[in-house]
Structure 1
Amino acid sequence: MATELRVHGVSGAPAEEVLDRPWVGRVAGDNDAGFYRPRPETHATTGPGGAELEAYRWGNLTSGAAARALWLILLPFTLANMTVWLRPPAGRDGRAVVRGLCRLFAVSLTATFVLTVVGVALDLIAWQCATPGSDCLRRRSWLRPFFTGFFEPTNRRLALAALVPLGVIALLWELARRSWARYESFRPTGERADGDGLASPTFWQGRIQVGRLRALHIAAALATVDAVLLYVLVRRDRAGGFAGVDLGPLSASAARAIGVLLCVLTGVVLGVCAAALLARGMVSRDEPARWAGPAVRAVRWTAVGVTVATLGYALLPRARWPTMGALPGYGPLVTGLFAVQVGLLSALLLVVAVQVGAARRYGLLREPLLGGFGAPVVGSIGLGLGIAFSAGVTYRVADYLDGAAVPSPADWADQPARLRLEPPLSFQWAAIGFLVATIVVLLVYAWVRLVTVRRLRAGARAATDEDFPGGRARNPARAAAVDDAVAGARATDHIGRAIGVAWGILAVGVLVATCLALAGVGPVQLAPSGSPGARMLHTLTNAGTYLISLTVIALVILGVQAYRKQRVRRIVGVVWDLATFWPRAAHPLGVPCYAERAVPELANRAAWLATERGGVVLSGHSQGSVLAATAVLQVPRSARSGAALLTYGSPLRRLYGRAFPAYFHDGVFEEISGALDHGQPRWVNLWRRTDAIGGPVAPGGRDVRVVDPIAFDPPPGDRVPPVIAGHFDYQLSPAFAVELTALLDRLRR
């Protein structure tokens, strides 16, 4: 007897809800991702068409413990990883250029994360707190032991503070290693499919690639800490830091030479990491070079060795020197890194523009999301969030330490009076930029709701009247409710334009702010010192820092609620599961890819059901339809004759096809359909006009539109009309049973 294997969407519904059976048991898999069937003693193990019911529940791969909400703090890493998949169709050389730029941008975000911790530990605490006249130690007396005794000299205090970012790097290393062992190391068994792209046998096997990327990012992170520490120490040593100090067997010149050597080695590590991210043999998932493994291990352990040596160099006895102002070189480094990141995104924008133009000429792009420029747009959002998070954390720590660390005051020309802790200048621009971006996002949302949806309502009226002739005359309010549902669903296809316009405005502002930051001009300094304009800019910038902090807290709360409450998860799950569907091919420290396990596991189970249990219909809703469709490409050819595919509420074309045109396009849909077409079509896709996520997928599958609601008027015996289901409850529609029965009949024949 054939099996209907249901795959749920982003809501992470329990197996009992997916199967609509109160008693189920796991027959394969584990608690993270398992296959469930109704218990035999219930005598309700079959569904429409007489198929055995089975559900694949993968929701715990992206949810579970509330502590996983902390993954949201690494959201910039996840967005950076998405950029490599958002590219337009291009040839092999074009793909290599985009991937190289995306990987360089991703490692720069790792450096931004590390520099944030460095700024808190080395700049604010170890350096600025020790400035004569600072209120930091008076307000936070628990810090005094770290400024006395063995660690009283500035160099040793910096070495002690460096253990904080090094500890955070070690935590990231361990977190990435554990998630790598849990997700990317899942190894499917049996015959593998062949082909390119999603059908590639190595597409969902990222163990080697992610491991090497992780090593390179950790090496770059360690080198970033070393670079900041060595710049301060070597700069001081060249100015006489070892004068009058007994170095034992070392001479002052030899000690200075050691510092220079460590600087060179740090630069070499950073340079090798950047070059390795561009080397195909190092980062390729399909064709890794034999030398890549030993090389990446050598780079990683060299970075560890240089870091240990740098700490030892920092502990050498030196003449006392007072601290004043900000940590030397830190502010310019943060600003310079941001300028490099803007440059990388600008280069990516130009490359993508060329590829979009070529793809349009050859007809390879059909209504792409954001015009095909998803990679630079999403990358810039990740950069903005990363810098904003850095600014928010830095300012909140500064506020805690001395209670007055706000951005440049309105009387910014009064420099001698400023003894407060002062974060880098570029963070002031990040704070006011985040405030402006929030306002722009709210305006875009208001425009979509008040203008776009209202404009779409006219077309929605025609659709409602087509499905329910005469219904508007009988019940105008009911017809208006259906109009609103259809118009709201169609807004999904138009929101990309509003986002593109907003992004263009913000991008120009970012370029201007970057130039001003490089010139050493902060937002408050745009107005005369002490003027009303300066006071207004000061207030706005300070408000931006608090808004960032509130946003970070809100993200964590939202993440906790998303894992605990299904309704909240449905709201945030679309974007979250869209991002974590893709392998970590650019940033190895982001949220792990659940599809690395789900797709091969689903393909393996489908192949077994197709050959050993009388056939299988992969029945996928929403994100589950994406997993089911990609699993078809991984099912061995010998088992495809016993498989069919039923998708409903599917974002395959509407979201994935528009956002990821290089991987989900007409050719891929035809390949999925062709894999199941044994003399008759075996892919049916159900969709509704009221569904804001799902839509048609043809060419490829056979699209069947489901009228929603199922009836305009209340059914006999009821006074309430049927609900407007929208994206959910496709299994309850009559069309679902009809099409599933037809697919089962084709399998039997």
Structure 2
Amino acid sequence: MVTELRVHGVTGSRAEDVLDRPLLHRVAGDTDAGFFRPRPEYGATRGPGGAVLEAYRWGNLTAGAAARALWLLLLPFMLANVALWLRPDVRPGPRAAIRALTRIFALTMTASFVLSFVEISMDLVGWQCANTARCLEGRWYLGPLVDTSTSRRLALTALIPILAIAFLWFLGRRTWSRYEAFPANTDGDGDGLAHPCFWNGKPLVGRLRSLHIAFAYATLDAVLLGILVPRDRHWLGYVCAGACLVLLVACAVAVTVRPVVDRDNPARWALGLTRAASYGAVVLTVLTLAYSMLQRDPWPATGRLPVFGGTVTALFAVQLVLLMILGAVVLGSRPKGTFLQGLAGPIIASIGLGVAVAFSAGLSYRVADFLDRRRLPSSADYVPWQPLQPPPTYEWAAAGFVLMLVIMLVVALVAGLPLNRRLRRSARVVTDADFRGDRQRDPQRAKGIDTAIADALITDHVGRMLLWVFVPTAVAAVAATCFALFAIRPVRLAPPNSLAAELLSFAVNLGTYLIGLAVLGLVLIGVLAYRYQRFRRIVGVLWDLGTFWPRAAHPLAPPCYAERVVPELAGRASWLAAEQGGVILSGHSQGSVLAAATVLQLPPEAQARAALLTYGSPLRRLYARFFPAYVNDAVLTQVGAVLARPADDAAAPDQHTPRWVNLWRDTDPIGGPVGSPAARDVRLVDPPGFDIPPGDTVFPKVDGHSGYQLQPGFGAAVSGLLQDLSGPQDSSVPHQPGAPATDQFPRIQA
């Protein structure tokens, strides 16, 4: 009795929808991730092809409107973490350099998080607003800042970033216990989907988390001490500043040292060192706060927070230098023909940096607007300086946001429109081959099918479009950073009192509002993600692609659901293969990636009684392009090879047809062929018919990425895999009426 174990994709589908059965019961797992079967008392426990139906629902590990909205605020951390896995397949030397640079960059992203809270609480509120009577008027909740010395105000407002870091610490520990703690083998290297230790990231995440928390607290201490020590020149301040500098350098070095960051064989002292760093940072923060509370001579606070503006600019410059070095290492070591020239990692890391700057600038300007009674957040040099102002660096961020939108619009018009015309011409060829002679009868129907195919083909050109947007934006970011380092604001690029200066000032102000709207929109999308299908698709695909990978670069990123899903799937599939007669791992979309990774984790005796059915799979189309070091020809061939061994001899040479069938459509924007010899690719014609069926009033709809299991071709695939698993010793496998029992899979018109 073979079980078809279905694994859904990124949409978090209900188990009832996955199995197309209304009445189910959970047979294993829990409410976060469980295995479901149809209730036997109501019948229909077998699916198309005759296998016993079972569904694995893991969507609750990433679903939830409120949780998704909260995690979206940590999107820069997720992108910094994904950048590590986007590296090309390079030699050990460049590989180590890429890992070290990415982890240092991830550390600086934590510092950016801290500085965004420092800007709002210490600069805008504690320094600027507390010294402006108009700002304090009518705001009782700012009463503790009145008639308080400047240093003590800074100490009080420093509690906000301290609490923000503490919340990150709590969140990291909570997700660490829930996701990474799933039992797994911990022997060996673990750098590869086939290794049993790959999905066990708990030890590394714990060590990295301690270093990031230490770096976060040390960053806050450095800002506070950088303001107080030059004024006081007290020995206690110098001691604290020295300890802070040592801690910052030690954390930056530690994330590059192999005995500390090795996934599976760290040094014995590594855990103690990282814990000492985090607890030492807490002690140093307490001492810094105590030092800030000391009695001092009257100290008037004017202008912006000292040192802080230069710190933000310097950090951004360091981040850009890290990304440029990372790009140079990748370009110098990548294999020929690598997707995006191997620059997918630096590009995604740059997007993460841009999102972080947008978050910081958007929130800062909106808080400044609120505190300053909605005065303009930016002004030209010839206008008197406004009381509340974020750092001038954020003006460049706002102007850069407007410039990026303009570049995207230009690329869409100059390159996107011609590309769309070419894709439509290609789509006509496919439509005319599937529905010969039908275009003349109904041109509009044929045009609608052309559009669906052309829209799906855009996925194959996203990388090129991304590169066209990235290159000019990156050049502009470097230029803006150079201007900011020399304290040159955007409006100073134009003559005073000129129309150009007014336009630049308008662009900066417009950018601040657009950034604020973008941040608000991102949060709203997170809240609506699992209530409306459109938002679910927007968030789900990118989100679950990002959180599929372990937190090996940024430990405070959203948790990796696969570290529970893959070991749990492997355990259940092994039991079904050994005790229940066999298993067909049936994965849709992201579920196909999980299923393929699960196959590599099965013991040989379970692999001999297992088969794989994937549909709408992004393995070749997306994963092999963006993650070539982990999903490539060798890995896909290995999946097919372990499933090619006959059931009666798991040690036999791989001379048999793989028990892996992959279904795909031309209208699917995500899925595609896997390629021989890994799998038997089967193309399904979509839509299933050109004309309105008899008795109906509408055309058959274009399914695109959904509805694979509802078409007859799906049943034929399952039936063939059942025969592959049955072998000559048992050919009496029940089949659903009308489903052909064959292991040959031609091009199918459903």
Same fold (TM over 0.5): yes
Verify: 1:633 aligned to 2:600, yes or no. yes
Deviation of the 1:141 alpha carbon: 4.5
Which residue of structure 1 aligns with residue 496 of structure 2? 529
Which residue of structure 1 aligns with residue 26 of structure 2? 26
Deviates more, 1:494-503 or 1:399-408: 399-408
Structure 1 residue runs without a partner (length 5+): 239-255
SS at match of 2:143: helix
Verify: 1:655 aligned to 2:654, yes or no. no
Which residue of structure 2 aligns with residue 243 of structure 1? none
Q: Aligned equivalents of 1:60 and 1:292: distance in 2? A: 34
Q: Aligned equivalents of 2:710 and 2:288: distance in 1? A: 65
Verify: 1:351 aligned to 2:329, yes or no. yes
SS at match of 1:316: coil
SS at match of 1:126: helix
Change (3 A) 1:139 1:429: farther
Deviation of the 1:404 alpha carbon: 5.1
Q: Which amino acid aligns with 1:698?
A: G
SS at match of 2:110: helix
Q: Aligned equivalents of 1:574 and 1:178: distance in 2? A: 25
CA contact (8 A) 1:197 1:203 kept: yes
- The Cα offsets for residues 684-716 of structure 1, whole Å up to 9 and x where unpaired, read as 101111111100111311111111111222233
CA contact (8 A) 1:644 1:743 kept: yes
Q: Which amino acid aligns with 2:47?
A: G
Which residue of structure 1 aligns with residue 475 of structure 2? 508
CA contact (8 A) 2:610 2:643 kept: yes
Verify: 1:235 aligned to 2:230, yes or no. yes
CA contact (8 A) 1:193 1:199 kept: no
CA contact (8 A) 1:139 1:401 kept: no
Q: Aligned equivalents of 1:563 and 1:743: distance in 2? A: 34
Which residue of structure 2 aligns with residue 53 of structure 1? 53
Q: Aligned equivalents of 1:164 and 1:292: distance in 2? A: 31
Trace 1:186-225 onto structure 2 (pairs within 5 A).
Answer: 186-188=182-184, 197-225=192-220
Q: Which amino acid aligns with 1:52?
A: V
Verify: 1:164 aligned to 2:134, yes or no. no
Q: Aligned equivalents of 1:108 and 1:219: distance in 2? A: 12
Deviation of the 1:669 alpha carbon: 0.3
CA contact (8 A) 2:91 2:333 kept: no
- The Cα offsets for residues 262-293 of structure 1, whole Å up to 9 and x where unpaired, read as 00000011001000000111111132221110
Higher helix content, 1 or 2 = 1
CA contact (8 A) 1:134 1:419 kept: no
Which residue of structure 2 aligns with residue 312 of structure 1? 290
Trace 1:49-198 onto structure 2 (pairs within 5 A).
Answer: 49-131=49-131, 135-138=134-137, 140-148=139-147, 152-188=148-184, 197-198=192-193
Deviation of the 1:721 alpha carbon: 2.7
2:254 to 251, 276, 279: 276
Change (3 A) 1:204 1:464: same
Q: Which amino acid aligns with 1:186?
A: F
Which residue of structure 2 aligns with residue 286 of structure 1? 264
2:691 to 688, 713, 735: 713
Q: Which amino acid aligns with 1:77?
A: F
CA contact (8 A) 1:210 1:585 kept: yes
Deviation of the 1:329 alpha carbon: 0.3
SS at match of 1:422: coil
CA contact (8 A) 2:24 2:37 kept: yes
Change (3 A) 1:19 1:194: farther
Number of aligned residues: 716
Structure 2 residue runs without a partner (length 5+): 646-655, 728-750
Q: Aligned equivalents of 2:176 and 2:267: distance in 1? A: 21
Which residue of structure 1 aligns with residue 731 of structure 2? none
| Percent identity over paired residues | 56
Deviation of the 1:443 alpha carbon: 4.2
Deviates more, 1:716-725 or 1:300-309: 716-725
Change (3 A) 1:445 1:622: farther
Q: Which amino acid aligns with 1:109?
A: M
1:385 to 338, 343, 355: 355
Q: Aligned equivalents of 1:446 and 1:594: distance in 2? A: 39
Which residue of structure 1 aligns with residue 10 of structure 2? 10
- The Cα offsets for residues 13-55 of structure 1, whole Å up to 9 and x where unpaired, read as 1010100001011111111111100011111111122211000
TM-score (norm 1): 0.93
2:658 to 681, 690, 693: 681
1:693 to 652, 655, 670: 670
CA contact (8 A) 1:407 1:428 kept: no
RMSD over aligned CA atoms reads: 1.7
Q: Aligned equivalents of 1:499 and 1:408: distance in 2? A: 31
Q: Aligned equivalents of 1:214 and 1:697: distance in 2? A: 37
Verify: 1:297 aligned to 2:275, yes or no. yes
Q: Aligned equivalents of 1:620 and 1:693: distance in 2? A: 14
CA contact (8 A) 2:190 2:263 kept: no
Which residue of structure 1 aligns with residue 439 of structure 2? 472
Q: Aligned equivalents of 1:594 and 1:447: distance in 2? A: 40
CA contact (8 A) 1:15 1:55 kept: yes
Q: Aligned equivalents of 2:162 and 2:344: distance in 1? A: 34
Q: Aligned equivalents of 2:501 and 2:278: distance in 1? A: 47
Deviation of the 1:482 alpha carbon: 1.2
Q: Which amino acid aligns with 2:154?
A: L
Deviation of the 1:195 alpha carbon: 7.6
SS at match of 2:259: helix
